[in-house]
Chain A
């Protein structure tokens, strides 16, 4: 099989690669993906070579001690933030009895730039009907292969339907699709998802305003948008480009472009102007000292604690919390009810 070149994926995954691994992972053919993915569901058109290829790619991507280590370690913190924020908002909405255990249960969730499916699997285990999309066919192949080996996931093969598959066994349905946020919007229409996530994607896209608008349009009224990205600060430059790419070579040089980094206040400003419809109020309607109220939007820094080997969510109001947002951070914003 002679792999052909894929368009450069707008995926967070790419940043965690060494150069040679990068070649292997991303230069797989689209045709290979299609039949490999198809083979997980049916017996026909099985090409053993292609299955082997995706199994290998998948095992590299999911090797927690390998190059994606940092990403694997970051996942619990993202989920923690999502759960805490959803719980807080349900209580805010008057559901005092809402329990932390099942805040995601039954919600329709879209993960844009799902990579190998790390966040999607966790969301699905917590009961969300999850759709993961990625612009890289390889990534979708990796994610599908991995999910199909895990019996706790109610995984089904990607079919271009207008809504996620129905649930069974109390677990959230998990579906992957090789597509973009733009296409999801075009095929499914706006206001489809209770929660839209896009982790570590924003800093790679060419047109962040369009990207944010597409993501936002997919959120149902009263629903949630979660983003994670890297701020444009000297600190972020030092850690993510100078140290990670050039000094330590943890990440392929050229993975990040400093100019594409987005500061939290830029996101705040974007949603301060952004309205779902011309007559409705902006998603962020007021600021106190430049900070939105906690019921409209919130930024939380995440920092890596080397001696624990874990990422941690910077506590609210902690000393230096603003400083903690100076590199990797999570951002949440809620679409107003209409």
Chain B
């Protein structure tokens, strides 16, 4: 980082550096989880002074007190392994549980062929062959961050410096083994034995360390929002099912939060995201209902209508959209007695005997919670290394500073928590052995534990995204008959199960691979393929998925 303000430089270099053992830059989920894990260990806090620096105002998060039925739009699926870690460090008990929701089942299907996989917690087993209750739990990021902050507030060994930016980082003038000097916006200078970059995608620590990051921006924007919807009735599955449909423009996901609220993550082309964000929220609600139900060609049509209106400087009206939907449904012969009919659902009151197919589709969205529509660009990136060397010695990266991932497998935050867990473990071991926690020797096991693990997930998810956005003829043809799709849905399943299936990350044999043995619940609902073809595909898919699972489980632990 370069100092822009020369007066600041004078101030900063005049200040006497404060000695600190671990300086964490970034108070996002990864940085807070690391601070909390370090502070929770008596052995570590006895010997290390931990300082966390965050540019934003954390008191807003600490004092966050939302109304019962309103939910933040930044929600993450916390896997069982992540939850076990948060329990271990004593932070989970600070999470407000009644604002979280379990995911007991996932329904994932292809937008073109309708080929579908469903999988549930019941399929997953711990190594002791105990079935898991839930696959993951949806938690607002703020709920998690608030819990971590509350936990940290009771820790004497951790100090938090918020509303303070890291202005620049320089290497101490000392031959060879100079330590990083961290210049803060309040003029203080911290001399860091170990500098942790938990500072997000544009990580200043990563630039200081001279670590390159490779990757690419996807031509995709993710829209997030909190949706209000019909409650599930007694005859329907409870709102503990996560739904995701893969449209050629990107996947749309419906993630349960409460009886009547769920979270949306809709990855789509940036112009469409922009147009949808500019529309009346009722139009977004209508488009969401349609996106889970209408055939792909009609979705393409509706997308164009939204884009045209936006390009013409106006927006599509909610009524216009409803008419379009009704018309498309008629032309596709959508049976109004089924849950596939947006029009019928919009006219009926919730309750009574559910229409056919309601277990395959998310509840009907009635409105969008005010002020919750936002979007962010998606990219895949992975740092070339997690631990700095040479001039960048005494640095380490965690969370988004080390990697960013497409949200389709809900892994972004979990990877960051996994990093925090592994790094805290590594620091603990070094302290126990009287080691220097900033030394390469102390940090090497962290990189070894996490790099390949994260890389597997990043590549699997990247490959999936690529496949779904591919427009090359053979790929599209294969998808249209469900061929590739079944294989790929299995890959998604594997990717989701990869960490969802383990009860905790640290168990050596925990990667809940019992799923490989259980039958693949692959339902070939392909419109275009004959039954016999379908059977062959299921067989093929089974073979490849099992191969994949086997490879992954073998490579997961050395």
Measured CB to CB, the nearest residue on chain A to B191 is A151
Which among A30-38, A72-80, A228-236, A287-295 touches the partner chain? Answer: A72-80
Chain A 37-77 residues near chain B, CB threshold 8 A: 52, 55-56, 58-60, 62-65, 72-73, 75-76
Nearest-neighbour CB distance to chain A for B196, whole angstroms, equals 17
Contact B434 A63 (CB under 8 A): no
Nearest-neighbour CB distance to chain A for B199, whole angstroms, equals 24
Q: Mark B146-190, 1 if CB is under 8 A from A, else 0.
A: 000000000000000000000000000011110100000000000
Contact A309 B177 (CB under 8 A): no
Known: A64-B441, A75-B435, A152-B193. A307 touches B558 (CB 8 A): yes
Q: Which residues on the B side are within 8 Å of A150 (C-beta)?
A: 193, 436
Query: Bound complex: CA of A92 vs CA of B3, how far in Å?
Result: 59
9 more A-B residue pairs beyond the given contacts A55-B176, A65-B440, A72-B440, with a C-beta to C-beta distance below 8 A: A62-B177, A64-B439, A72-B441, A75-B433, A79-B434, A83-B432, A150-B436, A151-B19, A151-B191
Nearest-neighbour CB distance to chain A for B508, whole angstroms, equals 14
Contact B176 A60 (CB under 8 A): yes
Chain A 95-113 residues near chain B, CB threshold 8 A: 100-101, 104
Which among A121-129, A237-245, A278-286 touches the partner chain? Answer: A121-129
Chain A 195-215 residues near chain B, CB threshold 8 A: none
Query: Bound complex: CA of A310 vs CA of B433, how far in Å?
Result: 14
Nearest-neighbour CB distance to chain B for A103, whole angstroms, equals 11
Q: Give me 23 A-to-B residue pairs in the complex whose CB atoms sit less than 8 angstroms apart, sorted by A's number.
A: A52-B175, A56-B176, A59-B175, A60-B176, A64-B440, A72-B440, A75-B433, A75-B441, A76-B435, A101-B46, A122-B433, A122-B435, A123-B434, A146-B177, A149-B177, A151-B191, A152-B21, A152-B47, A307-B558, A308-B445, A308-B448, A308-B558, A309-B448
Query: Bound complex: CA of A293 vs CA of B378, how far in Å?
Result: 63
Chain A 134-167 residues near chain B, CB threshold 8 A: 146, 149-152
Measured CB to CB, the nearest residue on chain A to B442 is A76
- B: residues with CB less than 8 A from A are 19, 21, 43, 46-47, 174-177, 179, 191, 193, 389-390, 429-430, 432-436, 439-441, 444-445, 448, 558
Nearest-neighbour CB distance to chain B for A109, whole angstroms, equals 11
Q: Which residues on the A side are within 8 Å of B174 (C-beta)?
A: 55, 149
Contact partner of B434 among A56, A65, A125, CB < 8 A?
Answer: A125
Query: Bound complex: CA of A122 vs CA of B429, how far in Å?
Result: 12
Interface size on A, residues (CB 8 A): 35
Contact B441 A76 (CB under 8 A): yes
Query: Bound complex: CA of A83 vs CA of B176, how far in Å?
Result: 31
Query: Bound complex: CA of A121 vs CA of B176, how far in Å?
Result: 18
Contact partner of B43 among A65, A101, A104, A123, CB < 8 A?
Answer: A101
Contact B176 A63 (CB under 8 A): yes
Measured CB to CB, the nearest residue on chain B to A62 is B177
- A: residues with CB less than 8 A from B are 52, 55-56, 58-60, 62-65, 72-73, 75-76, 79-80, 83, 100-101, 104, 121-126, 146, 149-152, 307-310
Measured CB to CB, the nearest residue on chain B to A55 is B175
Q: Which residues on the A side are within 8 Å of B191 (C-beta)?
A: 151
Query: Bound complex: CA of A161 vs CA of B445, how far in Å?
Result: 40
Contact partner of B441 among A59, A73, A80, A123, CB < 8 A?
Answer: A73
Contact A80 B19 (CB under 8 A): no
Measured CB to CB, the nearest residue on chain A to B445 is A310
Interface hub of B191, B389, B441, B445 (most chain A Cβ within 10 A): B441
Nearest-neighbour CB distance to chain A for B535, whole angstroms, equals 42
Contact A58 B441 (CB under 8 A): no
Q: Which residues on the A side are within 8 Å of B433 (C-beta)?
A: 75-76, 79-80, 83, 122
Q: Which residues on the A side are within 8 Å of B177 (C-beta)?
A: 58-59, 62, 146, 149
Q: Which residues on the A side are within 8 Å of B176 (C-beta)?
A: 55-56, 58-60, 62-63
Measured CB to CB, the nearest residue on chain B to A101 is B43
Query: Bound complex: CA of A55 vs CA of B558, how far in Å?
Result: 39
Q: Which residues on the A side are within 8 Å of B47 (C-beta)?
A: 125, 152
Query: Bound complex: CA of A80 vs CA of B435, how far in Å?
Result: 11
Measured CB to CB, the nearest residue on chain A to B443 is A64
Query: Bound complex: CA of A135 vs CA of B179, how far in Å?
Result: 29
Q: Which residues on the B side are within 8 Å of A73 (C-beta)?
A: 441
Nearest-neighbour CB distance to chain A for B30, whole angstroms, equals 25
Q: Which residues on the B side are within 8 Å of A64 (C-beta)?
A: 439-441
Measured CB to CB, the nearest residue on chain A to B431 is A125
Nearest-neighbour CB distance to chain B for A99, whole angstroms, equals 10
Nearest-neighbour CB distance to chain B for A70, whole angstroms, equals 11
Which 3 A-B pairs have CB atoms at the shortest separation, nearest pair first?
Answer: A59-B176, A122-B434, A55-B175
Measured CB to CB, the nearest residue on chain A to B21 is A152
Contact A56 B175 (CB under 8 A): yes
Nearest-neighbour CB distance to chain A for B173, whole angstroms, equals 11
Nearest-neighbour CB distance to chain A for B193, whole angstroms, equals 7
Q: Which residues on the B side are within 8 Å of A310 (C-beta)?
A: 444-445
Query: Bound complex: CA of A282 vs CA of B162, how far in Å?
Result: 63
Query: Bound complex: CA of A273 vs CA of B174, how far in Å?
Result: 50
Query: Bound complex: CA of A100 vs CA of B432, how far in Å?
Result: 9
Measured CB to CB, the nearest residue on chain A to B176 is A59
Measured CB to CB, the nearest residue on chain A to B389 is A65
Interface hub of A60, A65, A100, A152 (most chain B Cβ within 10 A): A152
Query: Bound complex: CA of A79 vs CA of B174, how far in Å?
Result: 28
Nearest-neighbour CB distance to chain A for B40, whole angstroms, equals 15
Query: Bound complex: CA of A65 vs CA of B388, how far in Å?
Result: 11
Q: Which residues on the A side are within 8 Å of B440 (C-beta)?
A: 64-65, 72
Interface hub of B179, B390, B433 (most chain A Cβ within 10 A): B433
Measured CB to CB, the nearest residue on chain A to B43 is A101
Measured CB to CB, the nearest residue on chain B to A100 is B432
Interface hub of B19, B191, B432 (most chain A Cβ within 10 A): B432
Q: Which residues on the B side are within 8 Å of A104 (C-beta)?
A: 434
Query: Bound complex: CA of A32 vs CA of B390, how far in Å?
Result: 27
Query: Bound complex: CA of A64 vs CA of B179, how far in Å?
Result: 15
Query: Bound complex: CA of A283 vs CA of B175, how far in Å?
Result: 46
Measured CB to CB, the nearest residue on chain A to B441 is A72
Query: Bound complex: CA of A124 vs CA of B47, how far in Å?
Result: 12
Measured CB to CB, the nearest residue on chain A to B49 is A152
Query: Bound complex: CA of A73 vs CA of B176, how far in Å?
Result: 19
Measured CB to CB, the nearest residue on chain A to B439 is A64
Q: Which residues on the B side are within 8 Å of A79 (C-beta)?
A: 433-435
Nearest-neighbour CB distance to chain A for B452, whole angstroms, equals 12
Nearest-neighbour CB distance to chain B for A62, whole angstroms, equals 6
Query: Bound complex: CA of A310 vs CA of B440, how far in Å?
Result: 12
Nearest-neighbour CB distance to chain A for B429, whole angstroms, equals 8
Measured CB to CB, the nearest residue on chain B to A60 is B176
Nearest-neighbour CB distance to chain A for B69, whole angstroms, equals 48
Query: Bound complex: CA of A63 vs CA of B558, how far in Å?
Result: 27
Nearest-neighbour CB distance to chain A for B284, whole angstroms, equals 51
Query: Bound complex: CA of A83 vs CA of B434, how far in Å?
Result: 10
Query: Bound complex: CA of A152 vs CA of B435, how far in Å?
Result: 11
Q: Which residues on the B side are within 8 Å of A121 (C-beta)?
A: 434, 436
Nearest-neighbour CB distance to chain A for B320, whole angstroms, equals 63
Query: Bound complex: CA of A83 vs CA of B389, how far in Å?
Result: 29
Query: Bound complex: CA of A125 vs CA of B175, how far in Å?
Result: 23
Q: Which residues on the A side are within 8 Å of B558 (C-beta)?
A: 307-308
Query: Bound complex: CA of A22 vs CA of B441, how far in Å?
Result: 23
Nearest-neighbour CB distance to chain B for A112, whole angstroms, equals 18
